Amino acid sequence: MCNVHSQGHAHGVRSDAEKAAADLRDDLVEELKLINKYEAQIPVIAAEDFTDVDEVVKSLIQIRDDHKSLVARLVKLINRLDSVQAGLFDLETSGV
C-alpha cells in the first residue's frame, strides 16, 4: 500500500506524527525560500532612490526576521516529533 504525501510517495504506512513532521518540513522549506527572497530583495531596494525607501527596507528586514523566527519554531516542532533528528541537533551542539 502506497501512502501519498506532498509531492512524493512514501511506501508503507506512516504515523500521524510522521505525517505532521513531513508537513512541517514542507512549511520549513517554504519559509527558507521566503528568507532567501527577502535577503536578495533588501539590498536591491535599498539601492533605489524613492520616497520612504528606508521605511520599506526596514519593513522588509522585519518581515525577513519574522520568517527566521518561524523557521526556528518549525525546527523545534519537528524535533519534538522526530527524536532521531532531535538527537542529531544534540550532537551538533556538543561539538561532535
**C-alpha pair distances (Å), 94 with each of 65, 75, 83, 89:** 27, 18, 17, 9
- Tell me the average pLDDT across 87-91: 82
User: Would the pLDDT of 9 be above 70?
Assistant: no
What pLDDT is attached to residue 55? 98
What pLDDT is attached to residue 93? 65
- Cβ proximity of 3 and 11 under 8 Å: yes
What pLDDT is attached to residue 19? 95
Q: Which residue has the higher pLDDT, 88 or 36?
A: 36
Question: What's the whole-model pTM score?
Answer: 0.78
Q: Using 50, 70 and 90 to split pLDDT, how confident is the model at 4? A: low
